[in-house]
Structure 1
């Protein structure tokens, strides 16, 4: 039965939702137009997502990284959704820029190239020149896209709230979908607001300053706002164009290793990483790596970075206990957890990789499988870790395409080992050890008092012990059958005794001088007794012959 909290949640969303009905009709119309119920080819699926709008294009982009859930043909097709969008007319672009600045674009730019460098579902990018002659890239948001995506997300929330209200079954699936919708809402909110991407660009550029041969575009905050972003123009070669890179005299193996090392550094050292590292977002300029498009980034706290490092160490060393300890700090617990079953599941997962060579282990796949194990135990990984898992799946795909012999897990393992020897890491470990030791000492000091109080309560009979014993279904079935036969035997004996008493009376009607009701009682007692004895003999025969009961 639905709870009052679920009822209030549906009521609150219904009051806020003013557009879902019209949007739902539009979605149904598009579904019918493309005959979705008859099945879709990968190309048709891309067309449907594009027709549904930017929110569903974003879902397709996220789905393109989930080769563990979708066939490869669909993942490859969804890759086209990243940059393969119909461009805005140039006059619309100019209109958006003028509206954002509140003045003519001529007061900011000397020129803007009418041919876009790239067009996506949320925005498109044009090459431009500032008044001082600096060449820049201008990212312009499509009109109405923020409102459209907000409507779609509200519709998804409404449907999920109704699903939770209507039924308690499949609760784990609903929670997973709710987490997915929350992630979509969070990522789209930052992507449609270019102020977030501006801050990401500035921070990312500063974080990469210490990495040799790795950088990102310089941002121009004085010319940027919520719907227009101005940044350094980067002209380079996509990392996936390996032949072109070789013609430029670049060692693609060394390049792939540098990209991978940079990504691991972002995750484990900076705690601020590119969440969409597909080939189009990694350009090579003069032999240097340039990370572009910081619309989607992930963040990890210091403690999360340490726990993620433990996860990598556990996978590399086949340590299920360390893996369980690490993941427990990275989850939201949604219900009861069977820790024994969790440890067993993680042990089985590691056993699958223990016989594989190091270079055959995919970090992203391992993280994704760990997330699935946790989901089966009423736990959900934090959004930053799920984003990290997708990021590693993507970057491993890039590395496999550029330099198949490079092992990401080896680079991760070496980085974790080197990090443990770093003075900053050691200081953090020492602080953690000191805190743990202080807590342990405090608990040890309280132990005698707690033990004395426990013994006193036990002496007074104030302690209760609750037990939860699981009995197999076969034992329960046997118990139920035994109780049933005892009941039948008792009923047969009761009928026999009752009939015997009736036969001593002159109750009418009679049959051959014996009360008819007594005769019927004797017959019933005989039938029940014979039935009970027959079943007991059959059960004994099956038990002696080791036959399954039916």
Structure 2
């Protein structure tokens, strides 16, 4: 039965939803047009997602990182969705800029190149020149994309609410899908609002200032709006174009090391990291690494950074207890947790990597496996951590492509060790030790009083102990069978005694001078007794032959 809360949720979404019927018809038309029911190849799946619109393109982009769930051919095909989109007509671009500024673009730019530098599902980028002669890149949001994505998300929420109301089966799957929709909504809201990306650029560039050879584009807040983003024009080579970089005299091993170190610094030191570090977002300009496209970023609190560092340390050292301790601080518990089973699962996971060389350990894959393992224990990683896991999967793919000999886990481990030696981290750990020590001393001081109170309660009979014993199904079956046979034996004995008493009376009717009811009682007692003896002999035979009891 659906709960009242689920009913009210469905009613609320239904009242808010004004577009799902129309949008559903559009989706069904596209499905029929591409003959989806006949099957999908990876290439055809890409075409279908592009036809469905920016929301589904975003889903494909997120799915491209989930090689643990999808075949590699589909993940590779979905990679094309990152940049391969049909460009907007230039007059539409100009119209969007004018509408966003509320004035003519000529009052801001001296010129705009009609040919786009790149086109994606949400926006496209053009090279332009400001009135003062500065060359910039202008990112323009596609018209109607905000409304289109809102319609798709409302349809997904409506279908999920309806599924929850209609059926209670597959509850875990529905909750996972609901979480996935929430993640899509959060990431798309950040990406379609360029004010958020502008703030990301400002912060990201400020925090990269101390890293030599690493930077990001200069933002221009005075020319940016929620639909138009103006930033420094960066002309460089994608980091994946290894041969071109070598021709330019770039040491690709040192370059890959710098990129990896920069990403680890973003995560563990700054707590503000690029969440989509694919090769197209990492350019090399005169041996300088430039991080671009800050539409998707992740952030970690100071405590989360410390716990993530512990996770990396535990994976590198094979410390199961440290790994469990760190994980418990990064999860949201949604149900009962079997801590013994969790520890055992984590131990087996680390054992798989204990015999591997450190350079062969893929941090992103390990983190993804941990996240999947936690779902079986009713625990869900915070969204920032799942975003981090995807980011590491991507960055490790980049490093493997540029310099396969470099180990990300080694860089992470060295960074964590050096980080722990820094004065501010030493001071933090000393404070933690002092606080924990003070707590332990306080608890120790209270121990005699607590022990005295406990003994007094035992003396008064006020202590109750609850136990939860896990008995195997085979033992339970044996107990139930034994109780049943004992009951039959008692019933047989009762019938025999009752019949004997009846036979001493003159009750009518009689058979051969003996009350008929007594004769029937003797017969019933004999049958029950014989059956009980037969079942006991069968059980003895099965026990001797080590067979399952029945």
TM over 0.5: yes
CA contact (8 A) 1:31 1:48 kept: yes
CA contact (8 A) 2:478 2:549 kept: no
**Match for residue 43 of structure 1?**
43
Distance 2:23 2:517 in 1: 74
**Match for residue 373 of structure 1?**
373
Q: Secondary structure at the match of 2:234?
A: coil
**CA 440–399 in structure 1, closer or farther in 2 if over 3 Å, else same:** same
Alignment of 1:92-107 (within 5 A): 92-107=92-107
Q: Secondary structure at the match of 1:442?
A: helix
Alignment of 1:8-407 (within 5 A): 8-407=8-407
Q: CA deviation at 1:516?
A: 4.9
Q: For 1:232-252, what per-residue CA distance to the aligned partner results, in whole angstroms no more than 9, with x for missing partners?
A: 111111111111111111111
Q: Which moved more, 1:299-308 or 1:162-171?
A: 162-171
Distance 2:472 2:327 in 1: 31
Q: For 1:451-479, what per-residue CA distance to the aligned partner results, in whole angstroms no more than 9, with x for missing partners?
A: 33333333333322211111111101111
Q: For 1:439-496, what per-residue CA distance to the aligned partner results, in whole angstroms no more than 9, with x for missing partners?
A: 3333333333333333333333332221111111110111111122222223333344
Q: CA deviation at 1:287?
A: 1.0
Distance 2:248 2:480 in 1: 79
Q: CA deviation at 1:325?
A: 0.6
Q: Which moved more, 1:459-468 or 1:448-457?
A: 448-457
Distance 1:365 1:113 in 2: 42
Q: For 1:502-542, what per-residue CA distance to the aligned partner results, in whole angstroms no more than 9, with x for missing partners?
A: 55566666555555554444443333322221111011011
Q: Which moved more, 1:305-314 or 1:178-187?
A: 178-187
**Match for residue 436 of structure 1?**
436
The gaps in structure 2 that reach 5 residues or longer are none
CA contact (8 A) 2:492 2:525 kept: yes
**Match for residue 466 of structure 2?**
466
RMSD (CA atoms): 1.9
Q: CA deviation at 1:110?
A: 1.2
CA contact (8 A) 1:172 1:378 kept: no
Q: CA deviation at 1:111?
A: 1.1
Q: For 1:63-104, what per-residue CA distance to the aligned partner results, in whole angstroms no more than 9, with x for missing partners?
A: 101112111100000000001111111111111111111111
Q: For 1:401-445, what per-residue CA distance to the aligned partner results, in whole angstroms no more than 9, with x for missing partners?
A: 111111100111111111111122222222322332333333333
Structure 1 residue ranges, 4+ long, deviating more than 6 angstroms after superposition: none
**Match for residue 484 of structure 2?**
484
Q: CA deviation at 1:313?
A: 0.6
Distance 1:202 1:358 in 2: 36
CA contact (8 A) 1:50 1:56 kept: yes
CA contact (8 A) 2:474 2:549 kept: no
Q: Secondary structure at the match of 1:115?
A: strand
The count of residues paired between Structure 1 and Structure 2 equals: 550
Distance 1:516 1:52 in 2: 84
The gaps in structure 1 that reach 5 residues or longer are none
**Match for residue 531 of structure 1?**
531
Q: Secondary structure at the match of 1:480?
A: helix
